[in-house]
Amino acid sequence: MTTVATHEGEWTPSTRRRVLDTAVRLFSRYSFAGTSLQTIADELGLTKAAIYYHFRTREHLLLALMAPILTEIAKVVEAAEAERDAGARADVMLTGYADIVAANRALAAITTFDPSVRNVLREQPEWSAVIDRQFALLADEDSGVAGGVNAAVVLTGLAGGASMASRHIDDDTLRAELVDIGRRVLGLSEPDS
Amino acid sequence: MTTVATHEGEWTPSTRRRVLDTAVRLFSRYSFAGTSLQTIADELGLTKAAIYYHFRTREHLLLALMAPILTEIAKVVEAAEAERDAGARADVMLTGYADIVAANRALAAITTFDPSVRNVLREQPEWSAVIDRQFALLADEDSGVAGGVNAAVVLTGLAGGASMASRHIDDDTLRAELVDIGRRVLGLSEPDS
């Protein structure tokens, strides 16, 4: 966890980090649309002004929360698109996505499921494009209707599986299960390595 | 669509039905927590009093919306639990669930994904129990961690696949795709019939 020296000289998680962590928890529970900056401030015992010091609007807070996970997805999309054949492209996208959702369980669910979050992301051309490319990598064009449905099930199902998984399942075990499931859905065999 | 005679003698969709249809559309877009009764009233050009005449609170409106789909799920759960072996139980649950989500695409996504909806359902012991039994039918106990993750991916992924599917895909085609995917995830072979 990021720590900073407070004016009192103690090392504590930065206020910015505490706001972001509390926001994930509240968005998971009440949805983005159902959580005001006031609620986040109350939960932390801060004034709303203290929140505004770090985030100009609720949308800015959401984008600050999403940026790391979306940046990671963008990197996986780039790596997957560099592969030659469709199967390898889908497998790189799948394994990268499983990594990300296993390590960011609550955030993955918010990003994938919350309609009010999707509306904010849709207004960001850069992130919308990444999400579209991610979908295209998983949807085998040659398999028509089935390809699109398979991709949608993998994207939502892996995020759902990660967010519902017990905390007792460690990230590596969860990731391996999600990759296996994704390969069965997409009809991919385990690549030789 | 349900129609009733208005005072003017015309046949129009009942106000109750119009409120419910508009609510699904707005909840899908802004989430349940992000949609007030006032927003629904404004969208329909009604007064808030006209909405209150049909639904005492926003939670009552949500439960009226969910009741038909939850009743259908309860019926499938009953039928599945009557099967002798675990594979047949999972298959009856899976095919029934695929039917329901293919026919109720927007509503399935709201029921499965919206955290503010899940909070309302969790407070209804009858529906919570149905949702738990549905999960248990899909999660093969013998396969430990994998069984639970598989069930979570199927429940969320099929709802996600249905809600993201193009309107051009008819319900029967979508249902068949979802059943195939679910069987691959759960490791079920197509039953002889």
**Among A6-15, A16-25, A89-98, the least confident range:** A6-15
Give backbone dihedrals phi and psi of A34, rounded to 5 degrees, phi first: -90, 5
The CA distance from A144 to B193, in Å, is 28
Summarize pLDDT for B1-11 with one digit per residue, the tens: 444 444 544 45
Q: Is A87 helix (H, G, I), strand (E, B) or coil?
A: helix
A149:B31 CB<8 A: no
- Looking at per-residue pLDDT, the higher value among A116 and B192 belongs to A116
A114:B119 CB<8 A: no
Same domain? For B29 and B96 the reply is no
Residue A137: domain span? 67-186
Q: Which of B97, B156, B166 to substitute to test the interface with A, most A CBs within 10 Å?
A: B156
Summarize pLDDT for B49-98 with one digit per residue, the tens: 999 999 999 999 999 999 999 999 999 999 999 999 999 999 999 999 99
Same domain? For A94 and A162 the reply is yes
- Looking at per-residue pLDDT, the higher value among A26 and A167 belongs to A26
Helix axes A37-44, A15-30, angle to 10 degrees: 120
Same domain? For B16 and B90 the reply is no
Nearest chain B residue (CA) to A152: B161
Q: For position A193, what pLDDT does the model report?
A: 59
* Dihedral of the alpha carbons of B50, B56, B57, B58, in degrees to the nearest 10: -50
DSSP 8-state secondary structure symbol assigned to residue A4: E
Q: Distance (Å) from the C-alpha of residue A44 to the closest C-alpha of chain B?
A: 21
Q: For position B11, what pLDDT does the model report?
A: 53
Same domain? For B14 and B106 the reply is no
The CA distance from B124 to B109, in Å, is 19
Which of B125, B138, B132 has the alpha carbon at shortest distance from B80?
B138
**Among A46-55, A79-88, B26-35, B152-161, the least confident range:** B26-35
Same domain? For A75 and A155 the reply is yes
Same domain? For A50 and A76 the reply is no
B158:A161 CB<8 A: no
Contacts of A154 in chain B (CB under 8 A): 157
The CA distance from A39 to A31, in Å, is 12
Dump the DSSP string for A110-168: HHHH-HHHHHHHHT-HHHHHHHHHHHHHHS-GGGHHHHHHHHHHHHHHHHHHHHHS-TT
| Average pLDDT of span B25-35 | 89
Summarize pLDDT for A137-151 with one digit per residue, the tens: 999 777 788 899 999
The CA distance from A35 to A25, in Å, is 10
Confidence class of residue A13 from pLDDT cuts 50, 70 and 90? confident
Same domain? For A17 and A107 the reply is no
Contacts of B114 in chain A (CB under 8 A): 31, 113-115
> Which residues in chain B belong to E strands, given as ranges?
3-5, 11-13
B153 occurs within a structural domain: yes
Dump the DSSP string for B155-182: HHHHHHHHHHS-TTS-HHHHHHHHHHHH
Q: For position B33, what pLDDT does the model report?
A: 87
When CB atoms are compared, the residue of B28, B30, B145 closest to A33 is: B30
Q: Distance (Å) from the C-alpha of residue B71 to the closest C-alpha of chain A?
A: 23
The CA distance from B61 to A137, in Å, is 40
Q: Distance (Å) from the C-alpha of residue B32 to the closest C-alpha of chain A?
A: 8
B165 occurs within a structural domain: yes
Domain harbouring A172, CATH code: 1.10.357
Q: For position A119, what pLDDT does the model report?
A: 87
Q: Which of A39, A121, A122, A153 to substitute to test the interface with B, most B CBs within 10 Å?
A: A153
Radius of gyration of chain B (CA): 18
Summarize pLDDT for B100-143 with one digit per residue, the tens: 999 999 999 898 888 889 889 999 999 999 999 999 999 977 77
Nearest chain B residue (CA) to A165: B149
B60 occurs within a structural domain: no
A152:B161 CB<8 A: yes
Q: Distance (Å) from the C-alpha of residue B138 to the closest C-alpha of chain A?
A: 13
| Average pLDDT of span A32-41 | 92
A191 occurs within a structural domain: no
Residue B158 · residue B101 · CB < 8 Å: yes
A98 occurs within a structural domain: yes
DSSP 8-state secondary structure symbol assigned to residue B142: G
Same domain? For B73 and B8 the reply is no
Residue B67 · residue B107 · CB < 8 Å: no
Mean pLDDT of all residues belonging to chain B: 90
For the cut 90, the answer to whether the pLDDT of residue A103 exceeds it is yes
**Structurally, how many domains does chain A consist of?**
2
Nearest chain B residue (CA) to A120: B30
Q: For position B43, what pLDDT does the model report?
A: 95
Same domain? For B94 and B166 the reply is yes
Domain harbouring A39, CATH code: 1.10.10.60
Residue B159 · residue B99 · CB < 8 Å: no
**ipTM rounded to 2 decimals:** 0.88
Which of B33, B29, B60, B20 has the alpha carbon at shortest distance from B116?
B33
Nearest chain A residue (CA) to B117: A30
- Interface of A to B at Cβ within 8 Å reads 27-35, 109, 112-116, 119, 145-146, 148-150, 152-161, 163-166, 169, 173-174, 177-178, 180-181, 184-185, 187
Distances (CA, A) of B100 to A113, A182, B75, B170: 19, 23, 11, 13
Q: Is B36 helix (H, G, I), strand (E, B) or coil?
A: coil
